[in-house]
């Protein structure tokens, strides 16, 4: 399984950034924009895929910053 950094809504409010395999959030934010900014930099630093979730928890977007195991032909 590739490394992933998830930006998810926190049930008590705000947003969390959590890496795959961790049971606790790496960092908590009041606003999604702050969480995405920090998550993108963190994801680039550790070479993971950034996974953005909507308020309802569904995945809305993915952005790969690590080694892409299946690069598109082009």
CB 7 within 8 A of CB 42: no
Counting residues of the chain whose pLDDT is more than 70, the rounded percentage is 84
Q: Is 19 exposed, middle or buried (0-12, 13-18, 19+ CB in 10 A)?
A: middle
Q: pTM above the 0.85 mark? A: no
Supply the pLDDT for residue 49: 93
pLDDT, tens digit, 9 for 90 and up, residues 45-71: 998 999 999 999 999 999 886 555 666
Q: Where are the domains of the chain?
A: 4-62
């Amino acid at each position: 399984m590739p490394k992933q950094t998830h930006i998810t809504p926190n049930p008590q409010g705000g947003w969390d950034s959590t890496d795959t395999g961790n049971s606790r959030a790496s960092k908590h934010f009041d606003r999604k924009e702050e969480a995405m900014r920090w998550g993108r930099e963190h994801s680039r630093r550790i070479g993971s895929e950034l996974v953005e979730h909507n308020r309802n928890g569904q995945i809305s977007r993915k952005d790969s910053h690590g080694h892409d195991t299946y690069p598109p032909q082009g």
